A and B are shown apart, each in its own frame.
Chain A
Amino acid sequence: MCLAIPARVTELLDGDQARIELSGVHKVVSIALVEEVAVGDYLIVHVGFAIGKLDPDEAAQTLALFAQMGSSVDPATLI
């Protein structure tokens, strides 16, 4: 119920709905709870409703931080 993974918007539909794709699975979900959804956005979907959008820049920064943390000798210097 709480394990949701980001799904990509492939088509915007009428009635606050969008078609999403995840690993080849397509599904129609409600976008009534989020603002300004565009095709190509990644949404966090719970029980058939998008509850948030994923920020690609922040995702890239987090991955860069992991790489930096993982390669560092002294983690205390990374904060």
Chain B
Amino acid sequence: MKYVDEFRDGELARALANAIAKAADPARTYRLMEFCGGHTHAISRYGLLDLLPPNVRMIHGPGCPVCVLPIGRIDSAIALATQHDVILCTYADTMRVPASGGLSLFKAKAQGADIRMVYSCDDALRIAQENPSREVVFFAIGFETTTPPTAAIILQAARLNLTNFSVFCNHVLTPAAMVHIMESEQDPAAVAIDGFVGPAHVSTVIGSAPYEAFVARYQRPVVIAGFEPLDVIQSILMLVLQINEGRAEVENEFTRAVTREGNRKAQAMCGQVFEMRESFDWRGLGEVPYSALKIRPEFAQFDAELRYQIAYLQVPDHKACECAAILRGHKRPTDCKVFGTVCTPDHPIGACMVSSEGACAAHYTYGRFRVV
């Protein structure tokens, strides 16, 4: 596969890892957070941790859209399908997330709710057109990558004047979550993260510019990286070199897909359809101000939250689950008592075990036999 295979060259990966080992100062530790679940997955899948020197530590961040969705939001989606009798269309990733009362979207579907997995939100629009007598709701989740497609279908629904289609919007924003992580301590300087691997495809949409204020304010380097193993290793090397030189800048390793200004057309469509929510509850992070989007009043007829008067109820996570601390980078999957015993990808207790991008699922699938 062009643009894939050449970025997975094992020999080059080892050579880059050697460069990291040479560059890393043995007298200090490098604590680097890969914000994005796509990077978490790549790091586990390609065994990149085994290539890094022991003093370069990767901390999994909260950039897994399924993981950060709180139970209350899944409960609302289930309520839409069971109490309002709508056809609920969702990306497959949300289906197995544990909800209240031992339910999940899968279990609700098994009990007769009309819940349909779609690959694209376009499919949800098509289902609405094919079923004019039924109400269809699209359960929209994800960061800035999945937001523009949702904006596109809302604009399309408005053009088609569809009256039986709406969107339950749960889109969240990356920079706000990064700020929240840095603000988690009284003094941001005390946060135990030395640098960030910036998301790949989120940055394709938003560009590298939004990280500039973050870097200036918190003095932590951000290197935007592609999702292939060589991209990740190269970005780690770039972070180590920045830290060594006492620099904190936004650098872009993923220049083949990310520009400073990002995808203007996608940004304009999102701006047309969405506005900021004042606050949004994230699993693991709690209420984060201005960190999510809602549908603008001009498109209120397509807003499922208004249409079905969805009231958000906060539900605490399972007591044994350490998802919250793992999402903040305070704990590792193996620090959780139920990891790999009660909680597995086949039977997840917490959200981090559900999606392949979740820290626990990635570690369980690829890394649980590593000598830690």
- Chain A residues at the B interface, C-beta cutoff of 8 Å: 1-6, 8, 22-23, 29-30, 32-35, 42, 44, 46-49, 51-56, 58-59, 61-63, 65-67, 69-72, 74-76, 79
Q: Is there contact, CB below 8 Å, between A62 and B23? A: no
Minimum distance in angstroms from A19 CB to a CB of chain B: 14
Interface status of B234 (Cβ within 8 A of chain A): yes
Q: Is there contact, CB below 8 Å, between A51 and B204? A: yes
- Chain B residues at the A interface, C-beta cutoff of 8 Å: 1-4, 6-7, 9, 11-12, 15-16, 18-20, 22-23, 36-38, 41, 65-66, 91, 93, 119-123, 142-143, 145-146, 148-149, 152, 201, 204-205, 227, 230-231, 234, 237, 241, 244, 253, 255-258, 263, 265-266, 269, 355-357
A41 to B1 Cα, complex, angstroms? 14
Residue of A nearest to B42 (CB): A3
What are 19 pairs between A and B in contact, CB < 8 Å? A1-B355, A2-B65, A2-B145, A5-B3, A6-B3, A6-B257, A34-B266, A46-B145, A46-B149, A47-B121, A48-B121, A51-B145, A51-B148, A58-B255, A63-B7, A69-B16, A75-B23, A75-B241, A76-B241
A61 and B255 in contact (CB under 8 A), knowing A8-B2, A34-B265? yes
A28 to B19 Cα, complex, angstroms? 42
Number of residue pairs spanning A and B whose beta carbons lie under 8 angstroms apart: 145
Chain B interface helix/strand/loop/mixed: helix
B253 contacts which chain A residues (CB < 8 A)? Answer: 62
Chain A interface helix/strand/loop/mixed: mixed
